[in-house]
Structure 1
Amino acid sequence: MSSKKVLIITYYWPPAGGPGVQRWLKFVKYLPEFDIEPIVYCPENPNYPIIDNSLLDTVSKKIKVLKQPIKEPYRLARLFSKKSTNKISSGVIPKAKKQSIIERLLLYIRGNFFIPDARKNWVKPSIEFLDKYISENKIDCVVTTGPPHSLHLIGLGLKERLDLKWLADFRDPWTNIGYHKALKLTQKAKAKHQKLEKEVLNKADKLIVTSNNTKNEFLLKTTTPISVITNGYDHHNIPKQTKYINFTLSHIGSLLSERNPIILWKVLSELVTENLSFAKSLQLNLIGVVSDDVIQSIKAHKLEPFLNVVGYVEHEKAIAYQMKSRVLLLIEIDSEETKAIIPGKLFEYMISETPILALGPVGSDVETILKSTNTGVYYNYQNEIALKKQILVFYEDFKNSTLEVNAIGLQSYSRKALTKSLSIILRNI
């Protein structure tokens, strides 16, 4: 069987850190085992909000990586406010009432002058470059992955010019994603987003999404075939870690302003006040980008003495934190839009042998996965009493040295198994 050449157009690629890079980094790792030759196209000089140089060592030297320059507005925006620009580019959007004039202006410009996103200026140069490359190198299929959804417009432009197959991969929804509400979009801008989304959904040959909720949303908008391939976990070489002596709750990843679990801080504050033993044992680790709103909420609930803000760490260190913790926190915004969001870290959490405590909206895909794999518990934001009882159950198990996980059915979420599913789609597209 001859290898099929597939061009993968992605914004995030090492040394980019954070969750956006992991999906296609791992697909590219395993695709050659399924007779698919991946060729990666990414920016030469991107404005990544998070850098993780350790990921550079995970890319095989055999993988061909094409790079072209990109012009992004964030560099110019930093002339006005470096701090505000860094926040917005990394996804930390302050609540409306706490936004400075500069932040409001930057969000308005970002939302209404850069559609679908701040990487729009890379679309036309990329189409020109790849048009020639695809023709000269006999590429069988093009894959675009977003966000940023500008990259789907590269696929759209190539599809209109060339006789090729195009697969559009949506790691998150487009017009139904939660942060759109924060971008101060005019009606004209909203309509343009919807028009572009419709074109991509209907002109791609195949769509891949990461959750059933996103699939159900897109089924109302297109007849293009849709497959669900979730994110997953990869095997690592991190040795087994000794658990923290304390009853340590850890959140790994960004905690943005809107993802601020007041109900959790309230419950922990009550338990600290009511239970002296609990107070002596509690430790709260936040590993990753954390908004000022979250820190202020924790302080307001008198939990600062138990707080350990670590900040962003390299991927391998994040895995070690997962394994050392007693309970892992998975927090999602309480909204209809976030039902479809399955954080990539969930799957690494699932193999950490650490119980997961998740908070999110009713009807989330996360709840289904946790229940089916027996890796944790899930509560919505109206379950305050049940949440408090559950944390006490975890704490009692911790004291009795019986706090453990008996996971089932994890193999289907391995990166290699997921790549096999992807390879079948690519071969049959």
Structure 2
Amino acid sequence: MKKVLIVTYYWPPAGGPGVQRWLNFVKYLPDSEIQPVLYIPENPHYPILDHSLKEEVPDQLTIYRQPIWEPYQIASIFSKKKTKKISSGIVPSNNPSFLDKVFLWVRGNLFIPDARKYWIGPSVRVLTEILESEEIETVITTGPPHSLHLIGKRLKERTNIKWIADFRDPWTSIGYHKALRLTRQSQKKHKELEQEVLHSADQILVTSNTTKQEFEAITHKPVITITNGYDQAAEGKIIPDTHFTISHIGSLLSERNPYVLWKVLADLVSEEDEFAMDLRIKFTGVVSDEIVNDIQGFGLGSNLEVTGYLPHKEAVLSQRKSQILLLVEIDSEETRGIIPGKLFEYMAAQRPILAIGPKSWEAGSMVRESACGEVFTYNMEAELKTSLLKWYKAYKGNSLKLTSENMEQYSRKALTKKLAAYI
């Protein structure tokens, strides 16, 4: 059986989407005669924890751990709340405080490519020995954090091993990159490191065709799209929520604020007799204070429920029970290629998806092609209102449902077979 070393920062008990991709690849790679060997930090700073995910880690999996030092430990002395939010990806966009600005500047300019950079040197020394002792033929690094790709680059230089760089998100074109208050020199350094990785890796994995096209324009190395996916389709009958729930599962950043949705919902509350009693806006996960404040500003505070992070199994159940599932992306040219991992679990939940994002959004195209919902840009107020009213009337008649099409290609097992073919 061929061995492959996977270098990842996020691993159970880490929660959130960053852990799901490789947790599932690791489970199904042995079915294709590939034995994964894992390398993870021993003492990581995970902003979100989900201990239930440890149950999904295969018993026979070989895992190597190495201590890591992260500057978030120092930053938390000044503000634990702000440190946790920024390490979670919650970047304040409206009127950031002086401390916000300082934290973002430090994060963006002093820790390049990111705050996990101090794990690179120790990891390369340890992994050089592990590769030889385990007779491993291939290394896969997955980012963000993109500093892990520099581990792969150095191992490639030392041992000439086959190296695959997996980009779960883009690097310099990611939506929040501009918010890091980078100096011109820091921007240049990020670009240089990104190009070094893209030119050095034997193969590059990405999660969207937009990122594939972006990378193919700056490297001659093969770039392969393997999207995220869902582990199991919905099974068994679930009784939907009695309220007209519009649910968002996962982190909701300040810039992912569908202001048009809150306005439309406020209009419907004032125009439809029972809408105010029926409506529930449910957030599961870390949510920006700015978004909560905007919802309350529209008079929808009594319709809002914020439950915080739920264990993955409970989050999946919540998706299946919701009347409508909300998918949101930043309204920006740079985010057209972002495909949130939750999209595939939304598809599997068999509930209508309300997608709001930028023009020519790749995830929006997938929603349309799979017939699992409707897609809007941030300026489609009239169209959004018409669709919500249509869904609300279907809800009142107990007929709000759908059946997604062409889902099997996004199952974790099918995606792992595709990955195994490239390994």
What TM-score range do you get, normalising by the shorter chain?
A: over 0.9
CA shift digits 1:32-67 (9 cap, x unpaired): 000000001010000000000000011011011110
Distance of 1:406 and 1:423 partners within structure 2? 30
Q: How does 1:201-216 map to 2 (within 5 A)?
A: 201-216=198-213
Structure 1 residue 79, shift from structure 2 partner = 1.0
Q: Give the counterpart of 2:19 among 9, 18, 21.
A: 21
Distance of 1:240 and 1:420 partners within structure 2? 30
Question: Conserved in 2, the CA contact under 8 Å of 1:259 and 1:331?
Answer: yes
CA shift digits 1:307-355 (9 cap, x unpaired): 1111111101101110111000001110111111111111000011110
2:136 paired with 1:139 = yes
How many percent identity over aligned positions?
53
Return 5+ residue gaps in structure 2 as ranges: none
Q: Which of 143-152 and 80-89 deviates more?
A: 80-89
Q: How does 1:26-425 map to 2 (within 5 A)?
A: 26-97=24-95, 99-235=96-232, 240-425=237-422
Distance of 2:87 and 2:300 partners within structure 1? 29
CA shift digits 1:211-253 (9 cap, x unpaired): 0110111111101101100000001797542111111111111
Could you list the runs of 4 or more consecutive aligned residues of structure 1 that deviate by over 3 angstroms after TM superposition?
236-240
Return 5+ residue gaps in structure 1 as ranges: none
Distance of 2:373 and 2:220 partners within structure 1? 35
Q: Which of 273-282 and 309-318 deviates more?
A: 273-282
Structure 1 residue 124, shift from structure 2 partner = 0.6
CA RMSD of aligned residues (A): 1.1
Distance of 2:234 and 2:192 partners within structure 1? 45
2:36 paired with 1:12 = no
Question: Conserved in 2, the CA contact under 8 Å of 1:238 and 1:319?
Answer: no
Distance of 1:45 and 1:414 partners within structure 2? 32
Distance of 1:309 and 1:238 partners within structure 2? 27
Question: Conserved in 1, the CA contact under 8 Å of 2:206 and 2:212?
Answer: yes
Distance of 1:196 and 1:238 partners within structure 2? 45
Question: Conserved in 2, the CA contact under 8 Å of 1:233 and 1:347?
Answer: yes
TM-score by length of 2: 0.98
Distance of 1:207 and 1:96 partners within structure 2? 35
Structure 1 residue 303, shift from structure 2 partner = 0.4
SS at match of 1:95: coil
